[in-house]
Amino acid sequence: MLTHLNGYKREAVLAPLFKMLEATFDLFVPLVMADIVNVGIAAHDLHYILARCGILLLLAVIGLTCSLTAQYFSAKAAVGYSTSLRHALFEHIQKLGFTEMDTLGTSTLITRMTSDINQVQSGLNLFLRLFLRSPFVVVGAMVMAFTVNARAAWIFVVAIPLLSIVVFGIMVLTNPLYKTAQTRLDRVLGLTRENLTGVRVVRAFDKEKSEIDRFESANDLLTKMQLHVGHLSSLMSPLTYVIINLAIVALLYVGSIEINIGGMAAGDVIALVNYMNQILVELVKLANLIVQISKALACASRVQAVLDTEPGMAFPAALPDAVEASKADDAVRFDHVSLTYAGAGAPSLSDISFTAKRGQTIGVIGGTGSGKSSLINLIPRFYDATEGSVEILGRPVQAYPRDVLRGSVSVVMQKAQLFGGTIRSNLLWGNKNASDADLWAALETAQAAEFVKAKPLGLDEPVEQGGRNLSGGQKQRLTIARALVSKPDILILDDSASALDYATDAALRKALAALPGSLTVFIVSQRAASLQHADQILVLDDGKLVGLGKHADLLASCPVYEEIYASQFKKGDAQK
């Protein structure tokens, strides 16, 4: 992770150096004050006092200038580092496959992209400003104390190790607890995201009370952990103050004895007390720095854990030229394919074999949890089959570079996902170089042209995040149009017409069939009526292929398909 600081090496070096320069001037302040007391006040020399006061003012101005300069460089380095790290993390997340995304979880990734990196930024900013200054002042004050009076300075030698034990002991105790607190924060964010995403369902089932209870339970665990860590961290200041104040009492006691025997002057006692106060201030800063560094290191390890997560899929750089003549007409071939998700106890697909030819329309039907989405997710290689082989357009799916594969296969997901912008910007996801004619052609095929033309700005009509200003059917048609803009060889509609009425659904299927070329279409649907004109229908049940053929053949030979069709026909949900 430190490689992201390479562009800010100069700032990372200058910030602590300017802080040390500021600290050097601060160490001379007690000596000047002692000189004022011992010489100026003792001799009642006003000119001497004013001259030394001028030196103090000059030291203050130079120290302030150094401090502001150090703050500028440290902030620039910390912000630049966090920006580079955030870009690297986001880029790495884009490379992860569905398996890794499922394992890590969306809410955890959001926390690490935002809260964790912000914490790392704050920790780095403090570290650059204080990691040299505070120890330098502590050691420097002790050395300067020996120049004032060696006997009294031994109090510093005793006090500083005691303070170090307190500071570093509390750091060791709190560091693992901060990691636990961040994990519990992930849980709270996950519940919040789930609740806000499904807020309509929560309202529909009158589950507000149970959701509040669930959130409060997770939030209480987070609060208790944060309070526990806070209580431990809060011990640092009072313990350090106790030790410092005892040291000051000892200094005053030793100083009074030394003054009585003529070993030191009154101004020297003032200087020693000032040095002890400087140590107190710097150790409090160091304590806060340790706390922030502990948090930052815990957050950095969580970010590093994501960066260390290697993508489970490797994509080749180039596509092999040769395609076997016997497979030239194949669009998709599954050969004894099985799929078991990471961490799952049982396979989601078992021994699936079929061949879809170019230009065919393939229907996929089955009950809930039968494996329909799992099957079509193997075609664009969102997941790799755990057994068997998947071939696309005559080649193994693993032989395709990522961009070539995504360009050949377009998928319209179950959930219609649009992005903030305009209708045009969303459609251009399919092909950034598409002309307006291409966009309108895709909209016509997707049965979306009519409502887009009715919009005041047409293609430039704004789309809110997630398509909140569009109906479910409008969003589904726009996502279908977006997939068509890329002019793929294989189009997959994963139950993506569920919000369309029967007439629009039928018109969509007719328009897809009329497209020129040899587009292969996979239609996943719960409606048997939507699939009965398909060239082949795959019937899935509990992850197994229990039926393969045309509508009429399956009615006669596949009990599962017959049951689905009959149940929908009786409810008027099939074509009559």
- Would you write out the chain's pLDDT as a tens digit for each of its 576 residues? 778 888 888 998 999 999 989 988 888 888 888 888 888 888 888 888 899 899 999 999 998 999 999 999 999 999 999 999 999 999 999 888 888 888 888 878 888 888 899 999 999 998 998 888 888 888 888 888 888 888 888 888 888 888 878 877 887 788 788 778 878 888 888 888 888 878 888 888 888 899 899 999 999 999 999 899 888 888 877 888 888 888 888 888 888 888 888 777 888 888 888 888 888 788 778 777 877 887 888 889 889 999 998 888 888 888 877 777 777 788 999 999 999 988 777 889 999 999 999 999 999 998 888 889 899 999 999 999 999 999 998 889 999 998 899 889 999 988 888 999 999 999 999 888 999 999 999 999 999 999 999 999 999 999 998 888 888 888 989 999 999 998 999 999 988 877 777 888 888 888 888 888 788 999 998 888 888 888 999 999 999 999 999 998 999 899 999 988 888 876 444 444
Same domain, 286 and 412: no
- CATH code for the domain in which residue 226 is found: 1.20.1560.10
In a domain, 5, yes or no: no
Residue numbers of the domain that contains 533 = 360-374+403-570
**Residue 270 parent element (H or E):** helix 266-307
Polymer length in residues for the chain: 576
In a domain, 342, yes or no: no
Same domain, 303 and 366: no
Total domains in the fold of the chain: 2
In a domain, 325, yes or no: no
Domain-terminating residue out of 307, 327, 349: 307
Same domain, 302 and 412: no
Give the integer Cα–Cα distance in Å for 493 and 511.
14
The residue ranges of DSSP E strands in 476-553, in sequence order, are: 490-494, 520-524, 536-541, 544-549
Same domain, 538 and 435: yes
In a domain, 391, yes or no: no
In a domain, 317, yes or no: no
At 323, phi and psi to the nearest 5?
-130, 130
Same domain, 139 and 228: yes
Same domain, 204 and 61: yes
- CATH code for the domain in which residue 534 is found: 3.40.50.300
In a domain, 68, yes or no: yes
Same domain, 159 and 247: yes
pTM (two decimals): 0.71
Same domain, 253 and 370: no
In a domain, 181, yes or no: yes
Q: Is 244 exposed, middle or buried (0-12, 13-18, 19+ CB in 10 A)?
A: buried
Q: Measure Cα distances from 290 to 15, 229, 332 in Å.
A: 18, 13, 58
8 Å CB contact between 309 and 100: yes
Same domain, 298 and 365: no
In a domain, 322, yes or no: no
Same domain, 367 and 279: no
Same domain, 276 and 211: yes
Same domain, 364 and 294: no
Per DSSP, the residues of 335-395 read EEEEE--TT-SS-SEEEEEEEEETT-EEEEEESTTSSHHHHHHTTTTSS--SEEEEEETTE
